[in-house]
Amino acid sequence: MLGEACALGAAMCWSMSLILFKSSDEVSPLAMNLFKNVVALLLLVVTMLALGLGVDRARPLEDWLRLAVSGILGIAVADTLTFMALRRLGAGLLAVVDTAYSPTMVCLGVLALGERLSGGFLLGGGLVLAGVLVAVLERPATVADVRERRFGIALGITGILVMGLGVILSKPVVERSHLVEVSAIRLAAGVAAQLIWVGLVPSHREALAILRPGPSWRRLGPAAFLSAYLSMLLWLGGFKWTSAATASVLNQLTTVFTIVLARIVLGEALSRRRAAGAFVAASGALLVLLGRG
């Protein structure tokens, strides 16, 4: 059950960080992502030193390439796309888009890893997806917002697909590596790609200003710790110690957690529809957990 617990913990940490990121609209998505990744990389290096861990220099070249590409796709590209979508859609509609995460990961897990799904898992996964859809589905946008929302939805779905490819690519290496070490390598690849991109595109160099201490650090610091450090370790732990399909469905509870936190922290209304959706999704997650027992 360790993998399932990690997946649920990752969902909660990401939800808490999303609330903090949403309150930092003055920071560009690129700068926001760069900041959280640099902070997390520093924390992972300190963790490795504290644990006496080193880098596995005997790792085959194929594994290094898998980790590097996974980090570039899942950290540098996918997370930036997610922040761009958050800026255009807001947390509520982005949560609807994020329901594509589970079916995407399930399909990739079946196609790329040969994972098999039981009837109980399919029922539980279906309840999670149905619950989150019921919980966050909102009225259609006005005509003036349609184009912006469509672009935001496209960004969100693309980010999910790119993240999924990164996870599937790295899963074989993650399963036979130390979690902290492999997380640091993925982050280092993602940060390197971001710095190269910022250096090559003059209009994006202003993103480097986020690395200088400022008022925004009060919100971005805790958000970076929760999302790119703690949540990432738990997230990879879920994929290390359980199937990609199970981990992805439990990760999907991020949507429900976000609704609850938005109510508690931001004072957003919690309608009966959203409460019912949260209950259905939680029931589906329980079925997934029982099916793995």
Q: What percent of the chain has pLDDT over 70?
A: 82
| Full-model pTM | 0.78
Q: Is the pLDDT of residue 114 over 90?
A: no
CB 100 within 8 A of CB 164: no
Q: Which domain holds residue 181?
A: 2-292
Task: Please give the average per-residue pLDDT across 278-284, as a whole number.
Answer: 76
pLDDT the model gives residue 121: 67
Nearest alpha carbon to residue 121 among 221, 248, 35, 209: 248
Dihedral sign, Cα of residue 191, residue 230, residue 240, residue 283: negative
Residue 72's nearest CA partner among 170, 153, 138, 217 is: 170
Total count of domains within the chain = 1
Residue 284 pLDDT grade (very low, low, confident, very high; cuts 50, 70, 90): confident
Higher pLDDT, 286 or 55: 55
Residue 23: what pLDDT? 78
What's the whole-number average pLDDT of the chain?
Answer: 82
Residues 6+ apart with CB under 8 A from 249: 102, 106, 121, 124, 125, 128, 284, 285, 288
